[in-house]
A and B are shown apart, each in its own frame.
Chain A
Amino acid sequence: MRAFGRWLGEHWIGVGSPLLLLVAWEWASATGLLREAFFPRPSTIVIHLRHLAADGTLWGHGAMTLVRIGWAFALAAVLGVGVGLAMGLWRRLREGLDPVFAMIYPIPSVLFLPLVSFLVPPGEIALDVTTAVTSFFLIAFTTTHGVRQIDRLVVEAAVHYGARGWRLFATVLLPGALPFIFTGLRLGLGFALIVVVAVEIVSASRGLGTLLWLSWQILKVEDMYATFFVIALLGALLSYGLAALRTRLLPWVQDVAEQ
């Protein structure tokens, strides 16, 4: 309890700001400043959220979305880190892929859905692959940069002390890039969530995106907001989870250790 008190003492702004926003919203809807038909009170939304959870709707859609994020993120992480490392290590590969990536990366991910559906079986796999596209680029970019920003002097010292080939990679280049890889993973995971919801709205029969869009179309505004909250919460949990993992796995990173 005392530990929690100390934690709260340090993080009260981060905890307080979303709470303040909710209180302001509640107040605005209650006083009629916001039209309650479109902006129901948070307290009403919570009641609907409990209904959705109680009858299992939320869990079914949520699990579906989580599974998709899991597959898409795994795909993006493995390929993104792999390609990013290769691009960081080999200049010619980097020079060859950079312009291609620069062109493809800004295309809104949902637009890949038809394209991907030509390449892989339409359905779940196409959804997962589409969700992975933007995350892949983000992870590849940050990983490449992670390798490139390693202090040359440190690499030189490692070579001087006998690290060559695989050992140089495993003891210097990979750990040196890891802080950036983690940043890329965190961004990639966030984008996987963003894109998966969009893709579900467009083409899935289940998932949080589907639930949200369906609720909107039949004007169950409270359910729409409830889903909204769940997606927001999911995003925050995934992001902070990965950040916590980084702190644990990379104790040598200065900015993390000093927090």
Chain B
Amino acid sequence: MSTRAPKVLVSEVSVTFESHGRSVLALDRISLQAHAGEFLCVVGPSGSGKSTLLRVLAGLLPQSAGDVRIEADRPGTPLTAMVFQEHALLPWRTVRDNVTFGLENRGVGRAERQARAREMLAMVGLTRFAQHYPHQLSGGMKQRVGIARALANDPEVLLMDEPLAALDAQTRTIMQEELLRIWATLGKTVVYVTHSLEEALLLGDRIVLLTARPGRVSQVYPVDLGRPRGLEVRGSPAYGALLEKIWSQLREEVVRAMAEDRGGEHA
């Protein structure tokens, strides 16, 4: 963390959904912040509203109450760019045209778009696949395109919604290392949602633990495992201790969520 200036400020944000005539509280007065250049991980049991939180940050979903602020340093760049769980690429666009999609919508000139696409595709190692269509790529490659598409917009904050969850274990491991490399290169502020504690410990500067529905902030854990961090960190005693500590808390939430689901079935 180079600076401690807050980049993302979430204060008392609640989200209520209307479903079958009943209102369901998905997020309950969430407050958190991410500093400039910080890699912030959000973990929690299924249904804790992790994705909902990201969608509020992305402006895709209005909060019912509370306030979201993202500090903009550079005018003209978007506040957020999201990497979606199921990649959500446009199947009818080539890899390159997917990467330049956001720039195109903002009216960036062709030459600059192409240069930007080349740069980003080089960064994610897909230069040779610029003219391919998404269906011709593997799952891991598609998600690389998703990452390149987000980074091409040079957002203030990069939002990632379980971007590696759909990948097989080996690809996921490779992609985690790639992510660390890219983050170290660009120094972006990242808000990263995952259900994997191991992933959060490998990637994050801090871990925000959400409770089962409605999602509240249960705890915030600093991850003092040093940087640069690689897979070998998993062997260190500090890693094991932190994993144990957070898991004991997360476990409670997961059990509570499961009990609530069962209760819901009977109701």
Contacts and interface: CB of A to CB of B under 8 A. Distances in A.
A156 B60 contact: yes
Interface string A152-196: 011011111111100100011001101000000000000000000
Contact of B60 (A160, A167, A176, A252): A160
Interface in A206-259: 250-254, 257
A178 B92 contact: yes
Given A153-B84, A252-B133, A257-B135, A161 B102 contact: yes
A147 to B, nearest CB: 14
A159 B102 CA distance: 9
Interface in B227-264: none
A151 interface: yes
B60 A159 contact: yes
A178 B101 CA distance: 19
A251 B136 CA distance: 11
A161 B149 CA distance: 9
B47 interface: no
B175 interface: no
Query: Which size bracket describes the interface of A in this complex?
Result: 20 to 34
Given A157-B82, A160-B60, A162-B78, A167 B92 contact: no
A157 B88 contact: yes
Contact of A158 (B81, B101, B106): B101
A76 B153 CA distance: 42
A160 B80 CA distance: 9
Q: Is the interface of A mostly helix, strand, loop or mixed?
A: helix
Interface string B84-104: 101011111100000001100
Interface in B24-39: none
B53 to A, nearest CB: 15
B23 interface: no
A172 to B, nearest CB: 7
A160 B58 contact: yes
B81 A161 contact: yes
A160 B82 contact: yes
B101 A161 contact: yes
Given A154-B88, A154-B91, 17 more contacts: A151-B88, A153-B84, A156-B88, A157-B84, A157-B88, A160-B58, A160-B81, A161-B81, A161-B101, A161-B102, A161-B149, A162-B78, A162-B102, A162-B106, A163-B101, A163-B105, A176-B91
Interface residues of B, number: 24
Interface in A42-75: none
Contacts of B92: 175-176, 178, 250, 252
Contact of B90 (A154, A164, A178): A154
8 contacts: A154-B90, A157-B82, A160-B82, A161-B81, A161-B149, A162-B78, A163-B101, A171-B90
A250 B106 CA distance: 26
Nearest to B86: A153
Contacts of A175: 90, 92
Contacts of A251: 133
A137 B170 CA distance: 50
Contacts of A254: 91, 135
Given A163-B105, A167-B105, A252-B135, A158 B78 contact: no
Interface string B160-202: 0000000000000000000000000000000000000000000
